[in-house]
Structure 1
Amino acid sequence: MHFSKAVLAGLACSFAAGAPVSDVEYTAIEKRDLNLNAFLAAIVEIFPVNVPVNGICTALGIGETALAAAFGLKINANRRGCADVTVVFARGTCDPGNVGALVGPPFFRALEAAIGSSKSIAIQGVEYPATVDGYLRADPAAGVTMAKFITNTIAECPKTQFVLSGYSQGGYAVHNAAKNLDAKSMSKVKAVVIFGDPMSKEPVRGIDASRVSIVCHEGDDICDGGVFITPQHITYAEDAESSANFVVSKL
């Protein structure tokens, strides 16, 4: 599957003009193949790069919504019922929905493929504003929200295992959620994966380092605590399969 720049630009224009954005719940990961090379090529084509985060917000929102439509991705994930594994994902700055399109959906698909039918999976996106200001202030509020969801889910689904994940600003949420959870709750967390982590130099509290994967591309300014969006920061979908395999090895 390949979508030209013109096609994606047209999709972006339609969303900018007010066409409805899909908010279908991610209750089951679609089986439709995602052509990763085409997806990454489209990302590099349509998004401005080497610009500060406060200069790309609108482009991210519109562009990701267009990508989601073009590649059949869902930008919202809302858990229903209990599952063997609960994935809690915090999207990046200005990403649409509650999981975005750049990283979360490709990671979820890869994870389902890696786990197969051996375990059931539930996925929940963290509901938080994901604003530029939130990134610049390293706002801890999303971490509190993430921790509350985990605590509530443990009460409802005591046998579930958790995978905590985030992208970009979502990395703050994961780190701060771990700081807000007690040892008993963190013992339910079997794996942590953070893509483009602005806190990449800081360990995730309450979990053994062997269960944590911080995925940072060389040249990603966000991983160094910077503010510039480089090509390296928007192409973490290429790490979806390896990250999914890491998670499966920890379950």
Structure 2
Amino acid sequence: MASPLRTALVLLAAATTCLAQTTSTTVTSPTTSSSITCATGIHLIVARGSTEPKGLGRIGVVAGNVTEAIPGSTVTAVDYPATFDAYFQSVNLGVTAMTALIASYITACPSGKIALLGYSQGGQVAMDVVCGTSEKLFAVTPDLSDAFLHNIVAVVTFGDPSHMANQSWNEGTSNKNGIFQRANTSACEPYSPVIKEWCDTGDIYCDAGNVTGVHGTYFANYTDDATEWIVSRFNASMTTNDSSPTGGASPSGSGTPSPTASGTGAPSSSSTAPPTTPNAAGVVQPASLTAFLAVAGVAFGLLL
């Protein structure tokens, strides 16, 4: 017999309308430190949004710009389901996979510099890795060890459903919590100087809003800002670590990520493609918005 939560999730999925997805070249992530080539620039670990094809997803355009600005950079996609119908499990698997990628890269490249990127569900994955998972109904996971503070130089998310208002790392126009409220933001503090989360007012997921189009606008509005943030953090890290690569980087460009040891990625740079959400390629249409919010409240016990 289906559980009430499962039934609610099925109804929630039924309240959404799937749109066409953008394409993304698959990036195969290395699974062992022996298969990793250490970047002379920055290493970007990218988590796509829900239902996007395997690879970098739309936020890969930021990774592409960074690899143009910082020569010798590499990109790895988090290999996780990124599904909507099994969202809780998908996030947990994403957290496990991204954490493993961080650990294996630092094992192979102890002085390596890493940026974590995530959009929508991928943004929640990235923040759960850094802060630990403390959202209601999700499996609890620990926060990221302080031992990696000299390695993780930037964390960037767009439309993170676990976004919390009034945090020092917040960017964008939102002043509300997301639909999956993070119970413990203090665990994020060790990494707070390197985090930037973009969330705008009205976003159904990161702002618990009711404007369906907002969730897909971050790429047009904030790609340059996110690129500049990562490049600036990388440059700053080089002044405090003599073993880091030398030479400055300019926060400009609109290119394709450099290949990793085991794959390449060519993200779409379109700012007009359909938005991804916790249901990456689908958004709630106006006619079903009321039903969506009602079911979401039942399913997740949240005040929307």
Structure 1 segments (4+ residues) deviating >6 Å:
none
What is the CA-CA distance between 1:98 and the residue it aligns to? 2.4
Q: Normalising by structure 2, report the TM-score.
A: 0.54
SS of the residue corresponding to residue 129 of structure 2 reads helix
Matched to 1:88, the amino acid is I
1:192 aligned residue (141, 149, 155) = 155
Show CA shifts across 1:59-81 (max 9, x none): 3xx5212xx5xxxxx35364651
Alignment identity in percent? 27
SS of the residue corresponding to residue 38 of structure 2 reads coil
1:90 aligned residue (47, 54, 65) = 47
For structure 1, the 5+ residue unaligned runs are: 1-51, 69-73
Q: Normalising by structure 1, report the TM-score.
A: 0.65
Describe how 1:148-187 pairs up with structure 2 within 5 A: 148-178=100-130, 179=132, 180=142, 181-187=144-150
For residues 146 and 167 of structure 1, the distance between their equivalents in structure 2, rounded to whole angstroms, comes to: 14
Show CA shifts across 1:63-119 (max 9, x none): 212xx5xxxxx353646511031111111110112212x222x1122212333x3xx
What is the CA-CA distance between 1:249 and the residue it aligns to? 1.2
Larger Rg: 2
Which structure carries more helix by proportion? 1
Distance 1:53 1:165, change over 3 A: farther
What is the CA-CA distance between 1:182 and the residue it aligns to? 1.5
Matched to 2:202, the amino acid is G
2:21 aligned residue (63, 66, 71) = 63
What is the CA-CA distance between 1:217 and the residue it aligns to? 2.2
For residues 54 and 157 of structure 1, the distance between their equivalents in structure 2, rounded to whole angstroms, comes to: 45
Distance 1:208 1:136, change over 3 A: closer
Matched to 2:195, the amino acid is V
Match of 2:137 in 1: none
**In the alignment, structure 1 residue 107 sits paired with structure 2 residue 62:** yes
Give the length in aligned residue pairs.
Answer: 185
Match of 1:76 in 2: 27
What is the CA-CA distance between 1:224 and the residue it aligns to? 2.4
For structure 2, the 5+ residue unaligned runs are: 1-11, 31-35, 133-141, 165-181, 235-304
Matched to 2:154, the amino acid is A
Equivalent pair of 1:57/1:93 in contact (CA under 8 Å): no
For residues 120 and 158 of structure 2, the distance between their equivalents in structure 1, rounded to whole angstroms, comes to: 6
Equivalent pair of 1:196/1:233 in contact (CA under 8 Å): yes
Equivalent pair of 1:82/1:160 in contact (CA under 8 Å): yes
For residues 82 and 125 of structure 2, the distance between their equivalents in structure 1, rounded to whole angstroms, comes to: 10
Equivalent pair of 1:77/1:123 in contact (CA under 8 Å): no
Match of 2:79 in 1: 127
Q: Could you say which structure has the greater relative contact order, defined with CA pairs below 8 angstroms and 6 or more residues apart?
A: 2
For residues 131 and 82 of structure 1, the distance between their equivalents in structure 2, rounded to whole angstroms, comes to: 31
Show CA shifts across 1:173-223 (max 9, x none): 112222343110243101110111111105472534231110112221111
